[in-house]
Amino acid sequence: MSVIGCGYLGASHAVGMAQLGHDVIALDIDKDKIAALSACELPFFEPGLGELLRKSVESGRLRFTTSYDEIAGSDVHFVCVGTPQLAGSFNADLRWVESAFVELAQRVTEPAIIVGRSTVPVGTARRMADVVRGHGSRAEVAWNPEFLREGRAVEDTLQPARLVFGVESPQAEQLLRAVYRPIIEDGSPVVVADYATAELVKVSANAFLATKISFINAIAQICEATGADVLRIAEALGYDNRIGRDFLGPGLGFGGGCLPKDIRALYACAADLRLADVATFIRQIDVINASRRDRALSLGRELLGGSYAEKRVCVLGAAFKPNTDDVRDSPALAVAVAAHQEGARVVVHDPVATESARGVHPEIEYADRIVMAARDADLIMLLTDWTDFADIDPVQLSGVVRCRNMLDGRNVLTPERWRSAGWTYRA
């Protein structure tokens, strides 16, 4: 089989398929990425994946290429290219999906199946099937959305919570069942649907997760105004298994390469369909989320006595969430940059994302160690919930900073511990 696109999804999928015993050739148009992967180097941080990449390459079941001609003879092609937000619009940018399908359609002459895994607006699979047919190819199109979380890509690839097959024929379903046989035998349920349903499952899943986060953050605002404790509320809500505790973590809100763009693409879809109430509902999820970044910034300003100007601010966290070096739409980095723009001298520390953050925001400072970032700080802002940060000793840090001000943007610290060490703690 072939895997087209070796980003987060494609690299994880290619390695996962090789682990299942398939003969995999993975393609990317980025020569540097292919050179790194061929040398068993992951171009991003992902726990456990590097080891499996090495094993897969050494076993001979996984190799990499930049040439579509080399993959043309595969029986199954998985399209795993990116669909980022289109600049200046809420829609997804589909240029890479379209070009992958055209490149394949021009070359795949024997019966084969082209399986889209990228997250796309509803209607894309049908359009791609028309493109393939239009080129006279005998390949069939299926859509098999992915649900993998960064930081847990291996688990989500090899033990997914479910598999969704958007297919138009029993043959395509059978082929996908054969591809995933070990996973299905391990107990992952399969949902078989039409194209539009399969496409919408993915976007709905992410929109629902985003809704849970914005919901608890909306309740957090009511709590701030009334003195109630949102963490206790989340705990109590979580015991109701109709609700569940996951994704009820209040704080700085969601970021990353998926939730923000998917919620915006769904908004654009609802607006295109002239479903005004639905569009408004979905839009508010993003609006509440963005407001959390402003709130963190204003809490920080308050702790600094009214202004960031000339102040030294230590930011703990640059990644959009722990266990990744991904800084796409990172709430932590957005707040750090905003504090810098308001005149603070900002020093950021992140266990693994410092280099990726420096790549996009070279104007702020970075430090390899927490104490270096915190030296002479007037304020510490904890903005990504890395477990390392929960263990920071407030007494030890007291000797390093200039003012003991802690803004815990992710509710990971124990307030009493910090307050009893003389810190002004806000969350």
- Output the smallest distance, CB 231 to ligand UDX, in A: 11
β-pair type (312-316, 379-382): parallel
The reply to whether 248 sits near ligand UDX by the rule CB under 6 A is: yes
Report the residue from 150, 286, 325, 350 that binds ligand UDX according to the rule CB under 6 A.
Answer: 150
What the block records as the tokens of 41 is 């180097």
Instruction: Indicate which single residue of 148, 288, 337, 406 sits in contact with ligand UDX (rule: CB under 6 A).
Output: 148
Site for ligand UDX in 156-215 (CB under 6 A): 206, 209, 213
Token pair of 219 as six digits: 């309740």
Task: Report whether 105 contacts 180 (CB < 8 A).
Answer: no
Q: Tokens representing 113?
A: 């199946």
Residue whose CB is nearest to ligand UDX in the complex, by number: 249
CB closer to ligand UDX out of 283 and 321: 321
**Contact call for residues 297 and 316 (beta carbons, < 8 A):** no
Rounded CA separation 286/138 (Å): 42
Nearer to ligand UDX, 105 or 259 (CB): 259
Residue 45 touches ligand UDX, criterion: CB under 6 A: no
Q: Smaller CB distance to ligand UDX: residue 247 or 281? A: 247
**Cβ closer to ligand UDX: 14 or 131?**
14
- Both tokens of 401, joined, read 């900073």
Whether 258 is catalytic: yes
Cα–Cα distance for residue pair 68/27, rounded to 1 Å? 7
Applying CB under 6 A, does 254 fall inside the site for ligand UDX? Answer: yes
Residue 415 Cβ vs ligand UDX, minimum distance, rounded to whole Å: 19
Contact indicator for 144, 164 with CB cutoff of 8 Å: yes
Subset of residues 25 to 44 that bind ligand UDX, contact rule: CB under 6 A: none
Q: Which of 121, 256, 351, 394 binds ligand UDX (CB under 6 A)?
A: 256
* 351 binds ligand UDX per the rule CB under 6 A: no
Contacts for 387 with CB less than 8 Å, ≥ 6 apart: 322
| Candidate list 6, 80, 223, 258, residue with the active-site label | 258
Residue 412 makes contact with ligand UDX by CB under 6 A: no
366: contact with ligand UDX by CB under 6 A: no
Tokens for 305, please give them.
């006595």
What values do phi and psi take at 141, rounded to 5?
-105, 140
Q: Residues 93-132 vs ligand UDX: string with x where CB under 6 A?
A: ----------------------------------------
Coil/strand/helix, residue 77? strand
Continuous segment of H or E residues that includes residue 128: helix 124-134
Of 295 and 321, nearer to ligand UDX (C-beta) is: 321
CA distance 267 to 204: 11
- What residues have CB less than 8 Å from 424, skipping those under 6 apart? 303, 404, 405, 406
Q: Which residue, 2 or 206, is less far from ligand UDX as judged by CB? A: 206
Instruction: Locate all alpha helices (DSSP H) within 304-393, ordered by sequence.
Output: 331-341, 354-360, 370-374, 387-390
Per CB under 6 A, the list member of 106, 147, 192, 424 interacting with ligand UDX is: 147
- List the one residue out of 10, 111, 103 whose CA is nearest residue 62: 10
Q: Which one of 160, 253, 317, 394 is in contact with ligand UDX (CB under 6 A)?
A: 253
The stretch among 33-41, 105-113, 126-134, 256-264 that binds ligand UDX (CB under 6 A) is 256-264
- Kindly list the residues in this chain that would bind ligand UDX in the complex (CB under 6 A): 146-150, 206, 209, 213, 247-249, 251, 253-256, 258-259, 320-321
Q: List residues with catalytic annotation.
A: 258
